[in-house]
Chain A
Amino acid sequence: MAAAPQTQAQPASAAVKARQRRAREEELLVWPDLVFIEFICAVLFTILIVGLAVMVDSILLDRANPAVTPNPSKAPWYFLNLQELLLHMHPALAGVVVPTVALIALGAIPYWDNTPEGQGEWLSTPRAWLNLRVGAAVGAIGTTLLIFYDESKHIQLFEMIAGKDSWPEQLNFMRGLRGIQNEINWPAWTLDVPLGNVLRLDLLGLPKIELDWNIPGFIVEQFIPVNTMVGLPILLSLVAHKLKIAQTKRDHMVLQFSGFIAVYVTLTIVGTYFRGEGLALVPYTIFADPSH
């Protein structure tokens, strides 16, 4: 087809001319400059997806059977971070409270960090990259260490160096998080505190609380996990503030968000590739499982 010459009506005055020129320098027409990029992107990804679908078949196991529980049973991969948390704390906390709080906190980010700095460019504030690296490193390493602690990996390391069964008996409560509950001689009354006799809501005319409170269980399943998940990020921000790594709201936001992403990714990877039979901490992939 014949290309039409790109003639345009001449601007009337010098002022209009200048304004047009300035706009031209910074702005492009969506057709063709953006629409073509989108089109090429769509074509490339269509090819990529068709190629992937031709080469890799999606998995299909045996017909669903409620009588046979596979070992391990796993949620879809994007929920394996929560399933990993489930191994370390109270199910209500890991399965419901943590994701709910995390999503609300995620949605609240712009209402807290409402400063205009750092907009429209990748990590454009002075300390953004630094905070990203620190947050991601602390999140990933911290999560890994916490999982190792709860899986008694520090005991293995100690006994590898100091010899078999050399872990001092007095420190048995530090074998893992459950050690606090199982390796300490809790007085019998702490295992069964009738909460209704302590919090006398019935005196206020409210229904009596019919709950027996297991204090060591509460400490291990709720108190320590909640304080870890709330306390460690706060501690990170305080330390980063003291060391002048994070100085502005945006710095703290980048630090915390990067930490959160790192924790999320670490938990997902551990839950997906390092939880085998009985959800033990061993390398695992569903594709190598002989039972499938």
Chain B
Amino acid sequence: MAATERPQGRSMGDRLYDAIFGNRLWRSIFRSGYPNTPRNQMLAVATNVFLHLHPTRIHRTHVKITHTFCLGGLSFFLFLGLTISGVLLMFYYVPSVDRAYTDILALETDVRFGQLMRNMHRWMAHGMVLTVLMHMMRVFYTGAYKPPREFNWVVGVVLLVLTLLLSFTGYLLPWDQLALWAITVGTNMVGSAPLLGEPNRFILVGGFQVGQAALTRFYALHVIGLPLLAAVFMMVHFWRIRRDGGLARPL
């Protein structure tokens, strides 16, 4: 199969290479050899479910950092980091008005690396709002929303809204004064809508004021509802980048 890419001589190194990257275990996982030849490098990308989000080849101007500043990738990276740190936080947090605040206090004082985990989750959340906004600006100023990429821009706007909603629902969970009143101010804005404002606010908060019902709802939305929705839109977003011909190129 790989006759042309094997080294000619059978030195010690060659035999070691074959032993590591040619054995049945490696081949059963990766299918291709170590990506040290153009063929294997392309196979590494094309046959890996995670890497195949990428094309196998890319225009050279698109790997320049200053073209994208990695902003879209960073947003996704932060989403993954938030998922991991968020799951760890869920181990120690119960969304009840009696326990939520003391759980956060315990997380900060009793749990090993609990404070660090909470800090990381919060800074990544703020960071994601920033990177998503900056990614939008990058796409705009490089003209990358133009046909055939119109619809992917719309998907991006939806992802921006979902990012803000994810951050907003998470804001209530520590159940301190900052959380309660920020969400009260925010949900009151919803209530002022000219049509169905008050009914919508009531459904969102689950009552007349922010209490247990609101905490339950925001928690459910924050840990499962909105992340799933965001993941679906991200799938469409990434897939459409490939379908629409990769990153935009000058004419």
Contacts and interface: CB of A to CB of B under 8 A. Distances in A.
* B is bound to A: yes
Interface of A: 1-9, 23, 26-35, 37-38, 41-42, 45-46, 49-50, 52-54, 56-66, 68-70, 73-79, 82-83, 86, 90-92, 94-97, 103, 106-107, 109-111, 113-125, 128, 132, 250, 254, 257, 261, 286
Nearest to B81: A49
Contact of A73 (B105, B140, B185): B185
Contacts of B28: none
B194 A75 contact: no
Contacts of B116: 50, 53-54
B128 to A, nearest CB: 11
Interface stretch (B161-169, B220-228, B232-240): B161-169
Interface string B1-43: 0001111100101101100100000000000001111110110
Interface of B: 4-8, 11, 13-14, 16-17, 20, 34-39, 41-42, 44-45, 51, 54-63, 65-67, 70, 73-74, 77-78, 81, 97, 101, 104-105, 108, 115-116, 118-120, 122-124, 126-127, 129, 137, 140-147, 149-150, 153-154, 157, 161, 164, 167-168, 171, 174-182, 184-186, 188-190, 192-194, 197, 209-211, 247-251
A207 to B, nearest CB: 15
Nearest to A86: B189
Given A35-B45, A49-B127, A114 B101 contact: no
A151 B35 CA distance: 64
**Residue from B124, B143, B144, B190 having most chain A Cβ neighbours under 10 A:** B143
A83 B209 CA distance: 19
Contacts of B182: 73-76
A132 B141 contact: yes
9 contacts: A27-B60, A35-B45, A45-B78, A49-B81, A63-B177, A73-B181, A78-B164, A109-B140, A110-B145
Given A79-B168, A114-B147, A121-B250, A56 B74 contact: no
A61 B177 contact: yes
Given A61-B176, A107-B153, A8 B181 contact: no
A30 B57 contact: yes
B54 A120 contact: no
Contacts of B153: 107, 109-110
Contacts, number: 260
Contacts of B197: 92, 96
A69 B188 CA distance: 14
**Residue from A53, A54, A250 having most chain B Cβ neighbours under 10 A:** A53
A64 B177 contact: yes
B90 to A, nearest CB: 17
A70 B56 CA distance: 55
Interface residues of B, dominant DSSP: helix
A28 B249 contact: no
Contact of A5 (B7, B34, B211): B7
**Residue from B74, B115, B116, B140 having most chain A Cβ neighbours under 10 A:** B140
A65 B194 CA distance: 29
Given A4-B7, A63-B175, A52 B140 contact: no
A56 B118 CA distance: 11
B4 A7 contact: yes
Nearest to A29: B41
B138 to A, nearest CB: 8
Given A56-B123, A96-B194, 14 more contacts: A29-B56, A30-B41, A45-B78, A53-B119, A60-B105, A63-B176, A65-B180, A76-B167, A76-B168, A83-B189, A106-B157, A110-B150, A120-B144, A122-B142
Contacts of B61: 120
A31 B41 contact: yes
A261 B38 contact: no
Contacts of B126: 77
B9 to A, nearest CB: 9
B181 A70 contact: yes
Contacts of A31: 35, 41-42, 44-45, 51, 56
Nearest to A60: B176
B147 A34 contact: no
Contacts of B145: 109-110, 113
Contacts of B149: 110
A54 B123 CA distance: 11
A92 B119 CA distance: 35
A257 to B, nearest CB: 6
